[in-house]
Structure 1
Amino acid sequence: MNQQDCINEIKNLQDFQMDIQGWADIGYNFLICNYNDDQQQIYRVKELTQLERIGLQYTPISSSNCVDQTIRVFVIVATCDRPATSLIINHTEAGGYYGCIHCENIKIGGDNARVFVQNDNDDFELRSNDTYDEAVALLQRSSSEERRNSITSINDGLDGLRGPCELRTLKYFDVYQSFLSDTLHTLYEGVMARMLHIFFDSVSRKTGITP
């Protein structure tokens, strides 16, 4: 997340007549825990919820009477690489069916690559808290009903969701749209691949490098 992204989000919150006093960031390792330690992630999100509801107290330097003030903290955006984002959301990996966290497009490109580029005429639905809630409702249906557990299933209505995401409890956080684009995997990776094709457009017997 860069400074301009934060400023834009703060402006949006100000439209709700909220008193915005500043912004800060939290390292994504705060939310990524051991695969077998889901309780630790739940605990950490509860801490964020406490910051929303109760806030934290501090004493302004300019306060002559040393009077404490309370400030409430809201998580509004997150920036992670694509594998980390999938892990936090509890979503299918980026290269799988329904792997895009921004829409439900499952187009397949050349060489079995999953691509998620749409035209203006394409009919697609952006992901949101609402689409997340619908998928979670399917996950929470009666255990007596048969459910496919394959993460590559495209017919179970889950659209790539593998389980609940604890961040859904945060007030101003959208489980899908609040994650910013991962420029490393979505932009620079393709640029680097193209540059390598330009630099090494023929097989090098000495180095073994191929296009």
Structure 2
Amino acid sequence: MKRQRKIYKESLQATKYSHILNSESEESFTMILNIDGAVTKNKHVSLWPITFMINEIPLPNRRYSESIILDEAGVNFFIPGVGEQNIKFFSIASCTDKPAQSVLTNMVSHNANYSCAQCFTEGENFTVYSKTVQKSATKVFPYRNDGARNDSICNNLVIEAEQHDSPVKGHAGPCPLTKLKYYAFGESILFDSLHALYLGVFKKFCLLIFSKSKTDRQQKWLHYNKINSIDQGLSSVKIPTTTSRRFRTIKHIARFKTNEFRSLMHHGSTVLLQAMLPKYRRHFALLLAAVNITSKDVIDNYDIILVKGLLHQYVKDWQKIFDLRHMSSNIHSLLHIHKSIQYLGPLYMYSTFNFES
């Protein structure tokens, strides 16, 4: 663990994480927190496991059962040959899906006004009409560059919410985690690549461009009529042996699992790019470039600035291409990926893939 701690200190110097490691002794380590949804079929009983993962245990070892300790307050451990040693563990961040994030931070639901845990974008209701008859309503988040959340602002909003017994700009009440030394509103709430990127943004993108809907037939971004040629192209792609899922036909895109979307994005993107018109190819390339940068082992200040620029342009263009109705909270959250890599480095360091199963 000490060796990995030293590696991260040097390779992630541009991050807040490196600053934390430099500020504490070598006997100090850090953890990220994850909380998952109900895992029982009984509707009257819910179980929300809370998991901590030590960042300084090298991947993939930190995910293995050998690295798991089930503990409760008041239990002491003695390790023969090591002696008595005072080791500190700091919970510095959390990475969860959006429903769990709302519970964890004591904020409003992810589809409510001011639900973004990173900024103060309000969001608005978008209603779809069919021949002047209301069809459905959804929460959308237009592209804007709103102010960031931080402790100094949010603590005052929490006090106001308690006084009025009503949410104020997304805060329903205090978040106990912010009493920890290194856990702060905004920056400590990390981007969840599993749910927000692969099952969120990229799945939404695929469902749109391969839509069967008659209302989308005239859209230039539609690629439903190219599915057979795309399938043929994907069949010739050689994927790494470490990838658990091979490509299924795009006709079943709505039933793809998370790993299938991840594999399609990272290993099949060249086939998708070749099938697109130049305008949409350039747009998709913005996302691919940003995600590849966030997967680097070494993150520097230039990477952070570049990711921010690429994804701001991507979200801005998304609204122009796919219209306001598809500006979901997941699309909006792309604007904050650079904050997560600035805080704790590459996305794989805190991906919720690490907490699954």
| TM-score band w.r.t. shorter chain | 0.5 to 0.7
Match of 1:93 among 96, 109, 128: 109
Q: 1:86 to 1:27 in 2, by over 3 A?
A: closer
Q: Secondary structure at the match of 1:76?
A: strand
Match of 2:158 in 1: 136
CA distance in 2, matches of 1:130, 1:185: 29
Q: 1:90 to 1:148 in 2, by over 3 A?
A: closer
Asked whether the equivalents of residues 91 and 163 of structure 1 are also in contact (C-alpha less than 8 Å), the reply is yes
Match of 1:115 in 2: 141
Match of 1:83 in 2: 99
Asked whether the equivalents of residues 60 and 68 of structure 1 are also in contact (C-alpha less than 8 Å), the reply is no
Asked whether the equivalents of residues 96 and 114 of structure 1 are also in contact (C-alpha less than 8 Å), the reply is no
Cα deviation, residue 109, structure 1: 7.2
Letter in 1 for 2:209: I
Cα deviation, residue 190, structure 1: 2.7
CA distance in 2, matches of 1:162, 1:170: 19
Match of 1:190 in 2: 201
CA distance in 1, matches of 2:154, 2:27: 28
Unaligned runs of 5+ in 1: 30-50, 142-146, 152-157, 204-208
* Alignment coverage as a number of residue pairs: 162
CA distance in 2, matches of 1:17, 1:73: 10
Cα deviation 1:2-57 (Å, max 9, x = unaligned)? x99xx44541213425435544555525xxxxxxxxxxxxxxxxxxxxx9xxxx76
Q: 1:57 to 1:126 in 2, by over 3 A?
A: farther
Q: 1:131 to 1:57 in 2, by over 3 A?
A: farther
CA distance in 2, matches of 1:21, 1:195: 44
CA distance in 1, matches of 2:78, 2:152: 36
CA distance in 2, matches of 1:70, 1:180: 29
CA distance in 2, matches of 1:159, 1:148: 13
Q: Which runs of 4+ in 1 moved over 6 A?
A: none
TM-score, L = length of structure 1? 0.61
Pairing of 1:147-166 with structure 2 (within 5 A): 147=164, 149=166, 151=167, 158-166=168-176
CA distance in 2, matches of 1:20, 1:13: 13
Which of 129-138 and 185-194 deviates more? 185-194
Match of 1:180 among 179, 183, 190: 190
Letter in 1 for 2:104: I
Asked whether the equivalents of residues 29 and 88 of structure 2 are also in contact (C-alpha less than 8 Å), the reply is no
TM-score, L = length of structure 2? 0.38
Unaligned runs of 5+ in 2: 37-72, 128-137, 215-253, 255-357
CA distance in 1, matches of 2:89, 2:158: 27
Q: 1:58 to 1:69 in 2, by over 3 A?
A: farther
CA distance in 2, matches of 1:58, 1:24: 21
CA distance in 1, matches of 2:115, 2:211: 31
Match of 1:201 in 2: 212
Letter in 2 for 1:19: E
1:171 maps to 2:178: no
CA distance in 1, matches of 2:90, 2:169: 28
